[in-house]
Amino acid sequence: MRVDIDRKILAANDELAGQNRARFKGAGVFVLDLMASPGAGKTSTILATIGALRDRYAIAVIEGDIASKVDAEKVRAHGIPAVQINTGGACHLEAAMIRRAVDTLDLDAFDLIIIENVGNLVCPSDFDLGENAKVMILSVPEGHDKPYKYPNIFQVSKAVILNKYDTMGVFDFDEPEFRGVVASLNGQAPIFPISATKGDGVAEWAEWLAGRIDACKAGEQA
Amino acid sequence: MHESGIAEGILKSTLEAAAEAGAVKVNSVDITVGVLTEVMEDALQFAWEAARAASIADGAALNVTMVDARTRCLDCGHEWVHDRYSGAKCPSCEGYLVSLLAGRELRIDSIDID
């Protein structure tokens, strides 16, 4: 006997993500899902963002990696609570992993939770975690052609951070073409050129994020 | 490893629908997958074999229909079928204002049960 189902395969993840989103909203905490390739500077960008916003907001970090706890230790060294998730081989975080991680945090005590997703430009873009915003980082050495190759991650991101901008002079990175393709994939997303380790451009990115956090706190749709 | 999460999602939906229908055995599962989801069919079949074990879907075939990506240019109206890398720019007028019509499907269509 044939039975029609016609439902999304990731419906179970979407349901859990919806539960996460309701918890975050109830606690008044803004949750950022930060996605990028390995080595693009996710942890450096998180540390720079913490430096820019820690006086205004209570921040916690959820670190997703296939293995190790080196990233969580780096964040904790700056006096910021960090929960490490080891996916044990999975290439992305899922809503159920985030639920387990936030169970260990007092959500009401925080204004901002930054999730560092597993280094990957493909799978993280397909999984809703319950976040308020997905943001991606591309670093200059990766090349300006990445939006052609990985369009989905550029389409789901609310903002694009262009990291290692200080190395622009030594790489063949066509910034006008990059901006043109990103605009075509996602006309709404601002692009923030930054150098996370040197601090250039971090203030502009942090102000954009602060605007989102404040809107979330005010109960608006962030 | 993307595929293992998807295989588990297929199994969960399958078992729920099978239980609702009072099934004792699942013979096959039909799904539709768009090429832009980055799912590799071979890897998905492998993950499915592992996921279905020790359930009433053990041995059930996974019939995968792959869907090409298709995009329409909003400037000139040109529609074209493409791989996952070439949908951002219209091959006819070279415009970037395009709309994806198909290719992101990840859907379980039906199951065959006893």
pLDDT at A122: 86
Q: Could you tell me which residues come within 8 angstroms of residue A169 by beta carbon, excluding any fewer than 6 positions away?
A: none
Q: How confident is the model at residue A149 (pLDDT cuts 50, 70, 90)?
A: confident
A202 contacts: CB under 8 Å, gap ≥ 6:
A48, A49, A51, A52, A194, A195, A196
B44, A134, A36, B84: CA torsion to nearest 10: 50
- Give A188: exposed, middle or buried? Use CB within 10 Å, 0-12, 13-18, 19+: exposed
pLDDT at B108 over 80: yes
Report how far residue A178's alpha carbon sits from residue B53's, in angstroms, rounded to the nearest whole number.
46
Residue A219: CA count within 13 A, CB half-sphere: 1
Q: What is the pLDDT of residues B88-100, one digit of tens each?
A: 778 999 887 888 8
pLDDT band at A129 (very low <50, low <70, confident <90, very high): very high
Amino acid letter, B18: A
Question: Would an 8 Å CB–CB cutoff place A88 in contact with chain B?
Answer: no
Q: Is the pLDDT of residue A54 over 90?
A: yes
- Chain B environment of A10 (Cβ under 8 Å): 5-6, 9, 106
How confident is residue A205, by pLDDT bands cut at 50, 70 and 90?
Answer: very high
> What does the mean pLDDT of chain B come to?
90
Domains in chain B, CATH or no CATH each: 2-113 (3.30.2320.80)
The C-alpha of A10 sits at a distance from chain B's nearest C-alpha, in angstroms, of 6
Mean pLDDT, residues A84-99: 89
pLDDT of residue A116: 96
* Model confidence at A37: pLDDT above 80: yes
pLDDT of residue A83: 95
Q: Are B67 and B33 in contact (CB under 8 A)?
A: yes
Across the strands, what pairs with A206? none
Contacts of B2 in chain A (CB under 8 A): 91-92, 122-123, 126
Look at residue B84 in the predicted model and tell me its pLDDT: 67
Q: Which percentage of chain A shows pLDDT scores above 90?
A: 77
Q: Rg of chain A's alpha carbons, rounded to an integer?
A: 17
* Res. B85: pLDDT tops 70: no
Instruction: Find, among A24, A52, A17, A86, the residue nearest to A161 by Cα.
Output: A52
Count interface pairs A-B at CB distance under 8 A.
Answer: 98
Q: CB-based contact (8 Å) between A4 and chain B?
A: yes
pLDDT band at B49 (very low <50, low <70, confident <90, very high): very high
Residue A101 has pLDDT above 50, yes or no: yes
C-alpha A150/C-alpha B83 separation (Å) is: 12
pLDDT of residue A121: 92
Mutate to test the interface with B, among A5, A144, A178 (most CBs of B within 10 A): A5
Q: Is the pLDDT of residue A147 over 80?
A: yes
Max CA separation in chain B (angstroms):
55
Would the pLDDT of A222 be above 50? no
For A108-126, the pLDDT digits (tens) are 999 999 999 999 998 898 8
Q: pLDDT tens, B33-47?
A: 998 887 889 999 999
| β-bridge partners, A135 | A34, A159
With an 8 Å Cβ cutoff, the interface of chain B facing chain A consists of: 1-2, 4-6, 9-10, 12-14, 17-18, 21, 23, 31, 36-38, 84-89, 96-98, 104, 106-114
Going by the DSSP 8-state scheme, the letter that residue A211 receives in this structure is H
Q: Which domains does chain A have, with CATH numbers?
A: 11-217 (3.40.50.300)
**Averaged pLDDT of chain A:** 93
